[in-house]
Amino acid sequence: MPKHEVDYSLYLVTDSTSAILGDANICEVVEAALKGGVTCVQYRDKTSDTGVLVSTGRKLHQITKKYNIPLLINDRIDVALAIGCEGVHIGQDDLDLPIARKILGEDAIIGVTVSNIAEVESAAKGGADYLGIGTVFATSTKENTKSIIGVEGLQEILLRIAAENWSVKTVCIGGINASNVSRVVWQSSGKGKSLDGVAVVSAIMAARDPETASRELLQLVKSPPAFAKFGVTTGQQTRSPQELLVLVPSIIKAIHSKKPLSHNMTNLVVQNFAANVALSVGASPIMANYGEEARDLAKLGGALVINMGTVTPDGLTNYLKALKAYNDAGQPVVYDPVGAGATAIRRSAVKTILGGGYVDVLKGNQSEVLSCVPGGSNVQQRGVDSGPGNQNLQELGSAIKELARLRRHVVVMTGKTDLVTAGGSVFAVGNGHEYLGMVTGTGCCLGTAISAAVAAHPNDKLAATITAILHYGIAAELAAERPDVKGPGTFVPAFIDELYNVRKATVKGNVEWLKRAKVTVVS
């Protein structure tokens, strides 16, 4: 097979250690995996002597040739030459790429392990046929990994390859298994460059039935995850404000009629307020911070709100369990990375959560959202609680637009002017009142309102999110204007009233309140 025709979709890396292979025969495992659909095989054995490597390599090559699948040898060019297989895979500490190419020739397949942009550039310019990008997640099969890059690091590398127009193929490796492979492939299929495949070790080598495991993994590689069924389309990203405003009444009516579950994982200070907001906008609230409950709750057709108010190891574990449960069920997730840039612990937690699953809506203030930009943002931040000023709306809009494109979700940056995008047009929403910033939990509870909207109207999450922001902001304006409101203390019950009143009026066909909407496109 010519090397440009190689299919890297499901790339098996062998492991001969007893911890992974057990007492199974490596040749039998590989052949079973090939029957299941493995498209490329790398023989990796770090401990056996050369004689064993050559002997086993020849047996494996006879098997792979029968299925017309390439066999690559990890590290050992001499072994690859001895058995006459299709190529090698080399790491950063092995023989360098130019020497390997000179020895093996142009027809050989040569792959290179990379974990950062500098290594990618060197390998791509040096003529590597494919890159093994990782380690994506922590794994027990490879020790002394330089770093865990996560899905974020994988996305950054793919973006750079696309920007430079390098033609090199890509597979990711490290902790890839049936629970995450579909999500990783989908999240990494952004603009310009997508993964060409995934490299798997223990998910096949340690499986009781390697053939079935391979078949299932290949199906997952080729299938979008459950949560992608209502992805934001290109047409939805670039509408006019008028086109979005037309949808607002129907979305509010959908919340009212469906009464979707709003599952909030939040701190004790906010729980009561969040529950009242949910009820006022028409949702059914539940405050449940125990991750084990999420699998059952996710089946009820609602949405999850992860409000990172309190960061503890147990809390993080519960967030990840709930995130996975809602992803598996295909139900929306709203994530509020509270105080994301304030401490190293919070920055680490954000990376863990965004790498541990998919969030449909990322909502936070300027500092929090910019802290979620991979590699950091170049936009000047003006304080933890600051919102975007008029002088830098375009700059901030550009930053969140790129973030939305990269992570494939709706991004909401709150402030005096809220910015919202799904990767196309950036919408500025100017509604709200200063009292919202004077009451604990109002920012957190906007996430609750958004969760109700995206649960009731999942096929258009951008319109649903903007609907919730308008409902929330205009209700605040109406509440602040009431004669019985004298300040933040009297504002809260009036605000809950007006959230309810706006919903009830809309259901009856009265959308006079919507004339207050201030939605523009940031050019």
pLDDT at 96: 86
- CA angle, 514 then 517 then 520, to 5°: 145
Closest CA to 236 of 495, 17, 458, 385: 458
| Residues in CB range of 154: below 8 A, 6 or more apart | 133, 134, 136, 172, 184, 188, 195
CA distance 128 to 326: 39
Instruction: Report pLDDT for 147.
Output: 73
Q: pLDDT (tens digit, 9 = 90+) per residue, 225-284?
A: 999 988 777 778 889 999 999 999 999 999 999 999 999 999 888 999 999 999 999 999
What is the model's pLDDT at position 237? 84
- How many other β-carbons are positioned within 10 Å of the β-carbon of residue 153? 23
Q: Could you report the per-residue pLDDT of 460-491, keeping only the tens digit for each?
A: 999 999 999 999 999 999 999 999 999 999 99
Q: Which residues neighbour 371 within 8 Å (Cβ) at sequence distance 6 or greater?
A: 337, 340, 341, 347, 350, 377
**Stated pTM of the model:** 0.89
Is 445 annotated in the active site?
A: no
Nearest CA to 332 among 468, 256, 249, 228? 228
Find the catalytic residue in 172, 372, 444, 445. Answer: 444
Residues 99 and 136: beta-carbon distance below 8 Å? no
Nearest to 406 by CA among 457, 354, 346, 458: 354
Q: What is the DSSP string of 358-374?
A: --SEEEEEHHHHHTTST
Enclosing H/E stretch for 221 = helix 210-222
Q: List the one residue out of 305, 307, 281, 282 whose CA is nearest residue 440.
A: 307
pLDDT score recorded for residue 386:
44
- Residue 145 vs residues 93, 135, 174, 304, 323: alpha-carbon distances, Å: 12, 7, 10, 34, 26
The structure tokens 């495991």 sit at 213
pLDDT at 222: 94
What's the maximum distance between 2 C-alpha atoms anywhere in the chain? 89
d(CA 323, CA 179): 12
Amino acid at 170: T
In the numeric block, the tokens 């292979």 are attached to 21
Q: Are 457 and 251 in contact (CB under 8 A)?
A: yes
**132 neighbors 114 (Cβ within 8 angstroms):** yes
**Cα distance between residue 351 and residue 150, in whole Å:** 8
**523 residues of the chain, pLDDT tens digit each:** 789 899 999 999 999 999 999 999 999 999 999 999 999 999 999 999 999 999 999 999 999 999 999 999 999 999 999 999 999 999 988 778 999 999 999 999 999 999 999 999 999 999 999 999 999 998 765 554 557 888 888 988 998 999 999 999 999 999 999 999 999 999 888 667 889 999 999 999 999 999 999 999 999 999 999 999 887 777 788 899 999 999 999 999 999 999 999 999 998 889 999 999 999 999 999 999 999 999 999 999 999 999 987 789 999 999 999 999 999 999 999 999 998 888 889 988 998 899 889 999 999 999 999 988 876 665 544 444 444 445 488 999 999 998 998 888 999 999 999 999 999 999 999 999 999 999 999 989 999 999 999 999 999 999 999 999 999 999 999 999 999 999 999 999 999 999 999 999 999 999 999 999 999 999 7
Residue 254 CB burial class (10 angstroms; 0-12, 13-18, ≥19): buried
Eight-class DSSP state of 86: S
Instruction: Determine what percent of the chain is predicted with pLDDT higher than 90.
Output: 79
Q: Say how far apart CA 84 and CA 70 lie, in whole Å.
A: 11
**Which domains does the chain possess?**
3-224 (3.20.20.70), 240-522 (3.40.1190.20)
- Cα–Cα distance between 230 and 332 in angstroms, integer? 9
Please choose, from the candidates 99, 77, 102, the residue with its C-alpha nearest in 3D space to the C-alpha of residue 87: 77
pLDDT at position 523: 76
CA dist 226 and 327 (Å) reads 7
